[in-house]
């Protein structure tokens, strides 16, 4: 009997999860809408929605008969955000990049119009002296900074270009490069101040689907390691792994 009760409880929990995820994905829905989407009897779905509303996981929507996410999720979201640490989430990926390529890996976040390094693991190329932990670069220099710039809102990019690229031609080229970064999901860049250094970076998304950091690996361009197809894919894979650790789901906006 205990096993049957446990199985029944798990079944109810699974249905509740499905109902909440449908509402989170599609917005407010009625009991009839959910019954159709979940392929469940309308009476069962209505009882489920009533219980979820009493627990404040759901609440009545603005339109009669609809349900939306409740205040309980705001409470949880505040506490979850306080627990999420981009450095802790990305550190395993930094170690993977460093171990696999033997090059220097970086983690950067945006600080105003600059990218600040908050973690770094040194590789074999001791010539890479720039961007120590705590140092920063303009957002248009280097792979990780360019990734952070590419995913900013258009008004921010407009203001940045107005101050950093006064020549129209430079602005057009830079915008085209940013568009390519967003399309392909990574950036490859040569260090403008250190000859022979190349880097590849990719974005880290948080639980809201916003870019919160960028991960990158840098090394001597002559080694042809950093910009190889294998390294580019590895950087993208590890950026995705860090994003997942921060609660990002690629299909959350579907």
Name the residue ranges covered by the structural domains of the chain. Answer: 2-81, 84-245
Q: Is the pLDDT of residue 224 over 50?
A: yes
The pLDDT assigned to 187 comes to 92
The pLDDT assigned to 107 comes to 94
Mean pLDDT of the chain: 83
The pLDDT assigned to 221 comes to 74
Over residues 105-118, mean pLDDT:
89
Please state, in angstroms and rounded to a whole number, the distance separating the CA atoms of residues 26 and 21: 8
pLDDT-based confidence at 165, cuts 50/70/90?
low
The pLDDT assigned to 186 comes to 93
For the record, the structure tokens of 12 come out as 């109810």
CATH fold label, 2-81: Arc Repressor Mutant, subunit A (1.10.10)
The pLDDT assigned to 1 comes to 45
**pTM of the predicted protein model:** 0.66
Q: Is the pLDDT of residue 5 over 70?
A: no
Instruction: Report how far apart, in Å, the C-alpha atoms of 179 and of each of 131, 168, 189, 251 are.
Output: 25, 17, 15, 21
Please state, in angstroms and rounded to a whole number, the distance separating the CA atoms of residues 186 and 14: 37
Which CATH architecture best describes the domain 84-245? 2-Layer Sandwich (3.30)
Q: How many CB atoms lie within 10 A of CB 186?
A: 22
Dihedral sign, Cα of residue 50, residue 54, residue 56, residue 59: positive
Over residues 160-178, mean pLDDT:
75
């Amino acid at each position: 009997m205990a096993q049957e009760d446990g199985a029944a409880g798990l079944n109810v929990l699974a249905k509740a999860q499905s109902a909440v995820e449908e509402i989170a994905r599609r917005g407010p829905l009625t009991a009839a809408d959910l019954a159709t989407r979940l392929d469940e009897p309308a009476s069962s779905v209505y009882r489920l929605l009533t219980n979820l509303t009493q627990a404040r996981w759901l609440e009545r929507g603005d339109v009669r008969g609809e349900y939306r996410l409740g205040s309980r999720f705001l409470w949880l979201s505040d506490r979850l955000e306080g627990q999420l640490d981009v450095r802790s989430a990305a550190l395993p990926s930094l170690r993977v990049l460093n171990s696999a390529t033997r090059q220097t890996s970086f983690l950067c976040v945006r600080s105003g119009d600059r990218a600040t390094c908050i973690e770094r693991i040194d590789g074999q190329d001791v010539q890479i002296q720039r961007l120590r932990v705590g140092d920063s670069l303009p957002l248009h220099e280097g792979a990780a900074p360019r990734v952070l710039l590419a995913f900013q809102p258009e008004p921010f990019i407009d203001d940045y270009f107005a101050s950093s690229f006064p020549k129209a031609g430079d602005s057009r080229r830079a915008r085209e490069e940013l568009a390519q970064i967003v399309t392909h999901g990574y950036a490859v860049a040569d260090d403008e101040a250190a000859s022979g250094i190349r880097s590849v970076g990719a974005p880290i998304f948080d639980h809201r689907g916003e870019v919160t950091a960028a991960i990158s690996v840098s090394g001597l361009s002559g080694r042809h390691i950093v910009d190889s197809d294998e390294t580019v894919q590895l950087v993208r894979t590890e950026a995705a792994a860090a994003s997942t650790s921060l609660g990002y789901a690629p299909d959350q906006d579907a």
